[in-house]
Structure 1
C-alpha cells in the first residue's frame, strides 16, 4: 500500500472532525485549534455560510478556465474592489502563498526584462523553488541549492543596504511587512517608504508578501 509523504513530524493524533475553532480526535478528545492549517482556516472550520457558499458553487460549476466568464468571479471582483485601493487594477487568485510568490517573481522578470531579485534576512516566502530562493532560513534551503540565480539577501530594516543594492538591474524587491516565521519582526514605516521610493526610481517591482 502507498505511504503518504510526510513533511512534518507525526503527532500521533487522528483528527475526526472539526467545527469553529475546535477539532476532535478519533477518541472524542476536543482541542483548541491554534494551528488552523498554517493559518489557512482562520475563519474556523465548517462555518455555515462558507459551507453553504461552497456547496452552492459546486452545484453550479466546480472549475472553469479564465477563458470563460462566470458570475461568481464578477461578484468576487466587486467585493474586492470595495476594500482594495483604487490604484490597483488587477487581481489573480492562486492556490497558495508559495505559488503567489513564484508568480510575482515571474511577472517581475517578464515585465521589467531584468533578473536581479532582492529579499531580506529572516524572510520566509514559501518552499516551492522560486519562493525558497527568496527565503533566508538555511534549514529550508539545505539540500535544494543552487536555487534561482541572481537573488540577493539584504538586512531587514537597514536603509543603507536598500540604497546601495536596489539598482537599474533589479527586477523585484520582495518583503514581508511583518515577518512571522522570522521572529515577528515589523518593518519600519521609513524602511517601507524607502523600499517603495527606490523601487519606483529604478523601475523594479515591489512585492509585498502579506498573509
Structure 2
C-alpha cells in the first residue's frame, strides 16, 4: 500500500522472478490471479490503466515505450493530455525540461533520433507530466552506459527528496538500485524472500550471492 511518506523502494531479483509482472499488475496492465492492490487506501484491483494514472500512479515500462514517430515535446504532452488545466500542463512541461536539459535542447527532434539515455529520460518525463504521487519504473538502466545509469538514479533520488515523489523501482542492477533506495524487496519465482533496508541488503553477503548476483 502506498503511503504519503515519500520513499524509494527497489524490487530486486533474477530474470523471471516476477518483477515486471508486479508492476504491470499494480498499474492495471495485468489482472492479478489473487490478492488485492491498494493505493492510498483505495482498492484499485482491476481498474483500467488510464483511471489508475488519473489517481496519481504512473508507470514507465521496460524500454520506456516512447512513440518514436513523435517529437520529444509531443511525447511529453501526451503524458499530461488528460489534465484539463493548460497552465498546470505548461508548468509541468517546464519542470521536466529543467530536470532533463537534453530533452529541452531537442524538444523538436523526433524521438527516433534520441540516444538510449535520452529515450529513458523522455519516458520518465512523460510519466511525470501526469503529476503522479507514485512512479513505477521497470529496468530504467537497461542497455544504458554506466554514467547515464548513475545520472538516472540520482534524478530518482532527487525526485524523492525534492518533490516528495514515491518511487517503486524494478531493477536488475541491484547495486545501483540499492545505492539510492531506502529499502529493498527481493523476489524469487514470484515470492518475496527478503525485505530489508537498502544498506542491510548491501551488507548481507548470503542474500547478495544467492539472489542479487554480486
By relative contact order (CA 8 Å, sep 6+), the higher-ranking structure is 2
Rg larger for: 1
Compute the TM-score of the two structures, normalised by the length of structure 2.
0.29
The answer to which structure has the higher helix fraction is: 2
